[in-house]
Structure 1
Amino acid sequence: MNLSTPFTLSLGLILALSLFGLPMGLSMICASILYLLMRGQDMGIVAEQFLNGMYSNYIILAVPLFILAAEIMNSGSLSERLLIWCNSVVGRFRGGLAQVNILQSIVFAGMSGSAIADAAGSGKMMQMLMTKDGKYTASFAAAMTAATAVIGPIIPPSIPMVLYSLVADTSIGYLFLGGVIPGLMMAGIMMIQVAVIARRRNFPVEAPVPLRQLPRLTWQALPVLFMPVVLMYGIYGGITTPTEAAAVAAFYALVVSVVLYRSVTLRDLYAALLSSGKTTASIGMLIAGALVFNYVVTVENIPRSLSAMLLSWELNPLTFLICVNLLLLVLGCLLEGTTILLVIVPVLIPTAQALGIDLVHFGVVVVVNIMLGLITPPYGILLFIMTRISGAPMRAIVGDVMPFLLGLLLALAIFTFVPETVLWLPRMFGYGSGL
């Protein structure tokens, strides 16, 4: 291998700049500029090609809108009302607060599409409730919150699925539907694990909320519970596109928080806008760098060459999916998920297509792998977030999260080997029928 080619030098520059602490997005942009200069290509023409391709692509607008919706929900009392309702439903069982943690993540997943928003928002309140009076150790509460937050981007809406749709040219609506059953399956496995662990570790039983209060608590939380219904009906009823649904989500969260619950002040709204703007800028820079570097990868014909090499190994679809799972799980220990999604996954898509693997099934498998990377040491960003929130040592949190990680890996294996667990619901709505 010639180490002085423009491509290898650009890879070396990405590695060097990353090691010196430059953000990955800027590192990829600098490396791509080096490549274009060494190849003598006109950067103005390349930029024009990108702009022409993005003018009619509105998918990416869903990302900042879902982020804004999550920030507004965390600023108001929506998360608090959701937790009160979840506690009234499942808090009466042994280990009830841990079950509440899972249930609130399922509902919150239908509103934000972000694992980090889930952990940083309702996760703070769950940490406080679970550790109050020494009911649960700080490390177990933190591990539980990190593990349940993984469900967020699997059950629609999902920011990672929006990004996958961008690189794979796949329907966001069908991707969202494909994530419903896997997300519920992951939650179900964790609920079973909590029931077993609660008996073994003798977790407390909370004072049950009287059933006669359930209708009142449900009514109070109804605007929060209704938000996923609004989003899904808008998308699959043909009323809105997924991007428009993201705008509806942000507007709905704003109206409910400001007008109905009156829990968001102008200062809170400003803080939510500022925080979502910073997060969007960070993700936007990463997307920009990945798209430019993907142009370099395409010019070098790497996806086609890799696809030809893998096909020459005569891999069957199942073997390929196993290899992809192992690759992404390892990369998830080392790299940020968005980087994997925007840089590594586009190289794998041509091979998946050549092997006849459905891209909706492939997308859900990819997103779940990337989400598991959020709770996999040493990089797992959710572990770092919960370490900061809980004050528990990282080693203790990792020890408590491992059983849940194994359970989630079991769920990943099931819908990797059984594609219908992903594709059944999309097909019920016309996927693959030519409509």
Structure 2
Amino acid sequence: MSLAFLLCLLAVFALAAIGTPIGYSLLLGGITYLAIQGADLSLAAEQLIQSLYDSFVLLAVPLFIVAANIMNAGTVSTKLLDFCVAIVGRFRGGLGQVNIVSSLIFAGMSGSAVADAAGIGKIIISMMTKDGRYPPGYAAAITAASATIGPIIPPSIPMVMYALISDQSVGYLFLAGVIPGLFMGLMLMVFNYAMAIRLNVPMEEPVPARQIPRITFRAIPVLLMPAILLGGIYGGAATPTEAAALAALYALFLSVFIYRSLSFREFVTQMRESARQAATVGIVIGCALIFNYIVASERIPEALQHWLAGMDLSPLAFLLMINLLLLLLGCLLDATTIILVILPLFIPACKALGIDLLHFGVVAIVNCMIGLITPPYGILLFVINALTGISLRDIITNILPFVAALLLALALLIFFPGLSLWLPRQFGYVG
């Protein structure tokens, strides 16, 4: 590891510590490295442009962002919540279960944890805290925890990013996330049930059976979206990028023609916001790829691989060690940075140890999603706080049991690779 690389790292961390956006921190760190090495500084721009233009699959990211924003602007979220209340609202901890189930369904449409939390978060938290049914901190905590499922069940923006750095199939990655996502939801529902008993939360008034068909009928267009999206991919009719475009178009069709809840002015606002968000993500991705070029130039992955070989670790011990490291990093870094900058360091070692890269990707992304709700850098905690005004202290205090539930789910995913790999194998995956 050269002095130039150490100074590059120092520049990245120093800039991030004073509040510089992580994308710019990576870019300036990369320029620092090139300047010290005496390389042409235009190499940074060349790597950024080539990396983005050579990655066709990255077009899916802004398209999923557009789809999520259009759904949030319309009444799609409300129809989804009405359906979930009718189905699971009658059980113990009913509105908490509604929160989790609605996140599971919304996950099949947005691909983003932040979109999930923003889309249904404010509505469901208001429902839960009305008339003092649930403590505000608890309602906010379960909303943040259930939003972590969003990028696990397909479609998934983080999985698109992982496909970019690991050369894995986006389609197989999407399939690999289905069972883990459902399993995370099940664990959260079990913990919510136990917490509802401990808090003595009153049972909700069940929706009359005669109203359920009408509520379900109104929600059918929303519920069809994951089926159309995934059916297009696995039926061979569309690539993941084309499916993302289809998702955005279908979300627009629902909001304008079916529910008639999206005005032209609101549409323009959402497109402007989508462009801003996509540009932010694009800067981080591009600058992270510059950093990856530097890491490859320094031969860091090979050095790490030789070091691990000297330790004679088993694949399971390696996975456990890496996941402990990722949990610590998740408290300090955002998920995009971990996926694009940190995970590429370990992919050669995974190959050498015979660890399936599909399994590793799912486990690592689940780990990164847990990082979204762990302080001090739990971005979902800040999103919920900004949406509702509920104090961070309250949210963090109440979220710890749900973090424990998700950590238990993560441990089981590590020990039982079949949870991730069974479904892709049914569709022909042989990795």
The question of a shared fold, defined as TM-score above 0.5 by the shorter chain, is answered with yes
Equivalent residue, structure 1, for 2:148:
150
1:131 paired residue number: 129
Q: CA deviation at 1:48?
A: 4.2
Residue 172 of structure 2 is aligned to residue 174 of structure 1: yes
1:105-146 CA distance string (max 9 Å, x none) = 000000001000111111010111111111111101000100
1:11-30 per-residue CA deviation (whole Å, 9 max, x = no partner) reads 11112222232211111111
Residues 1:298 and 2:262 are matched in the alignment: no
Separation in 1, partners of 2:69, 2:316: 39
Asked if the contact 1:138/1:390 (under 8 Å) is kept, the reply is no
What is the match of residue 376 of structure 2?
A: 378
- Quick check: 1:229 aligned with 2:227? yes
- The 1-side partners of 2:124 and 2:237 are apart by 35
Match of 2:415 in 1: 417
What letter is aligned with 2:81? Answer: L
Which is further off, 386-395 or 322-331?
A: 386-395
- Contact 1:139 1:390 survives alignment (8 Å): no
Distance in 2, Cα, partners of 1:170 & 1:403:
34
Shift of residue 46 of structure 1? Answer: 6.1
Deviations 1:141-185 (A, max 9, x none): 000100100110110001111111111111010011001001101
Amino acid at match of 2:15: L
In structure 2, the residue matched to 1:209 is: 207
Q: Unpaired segments of 5 or more residues in structure 1?
A: none
Amino acid aligned to 1:414? L
Q: Tell whether the 8 Å contact from 1:329 to 1:373 is kept in structure 2 after alignment.
A: yes
Residues 138, 395 of structure 2: 8 Å contact kept: yes
Alignment of 1:336-347 (within 5 A): 336-347=334-345
Work out whether 1:27 is the aligned partner of 2:29. no
The alignment of Structure 1 onto Structure 2 pairs a total of residues equal to: 431
Instruction: Give the partner amino acid of 1:401.
Output: I
Distance 1:52 1:293 in 2: 14
CA drift of 1:391 comes to: 2.3
User: RMSD of aligned C-alpha atoms?
Assistant: 1.4
- Greater shift, 362-371 or 16-25, is seen at 16-25
Q: What does 1:18-417 align with in structure 2 at a 5 Å threshold?
A: 18-44=16-42, 47-48=45-46, 51-52=49-50, 54-417=52-415
TM-fit CA distance, 1:50: 5.5
Q: In the aligned structure 1, how far is the partner of 2:205 from the partner of 2:43?
A: 67
Is the 1:98–1:194 contact (alpha carbons within 8 Å) kept by the matching residues of 2?
A: yes
- Aligned equivalents of 1:99, 1:391: Cα separation in 2: 23
Structure 1 residues 268 and 399, CA gap change in structure 2 (3 angstroms): same
Distance in 2 of aligned mates of 1:81 and 1:357: 42
Poorly superposed stretches of 4+, deviation over 3 Å: 43-56
Q: Partners in 1 of 2:35 and 2:332 — Cα distance?
A: 30
Letter in 1 for 2:379: I
Q: Which amino acid aligns with 1:162?
A: V
AA aligned to 1:390 is T
How far, CA to CA, are the matches of 1:191 and 1:12 in structure 2? Answer: 43
Q: How many Å apart are 1:54 and its aligned residue?
A: 4.4
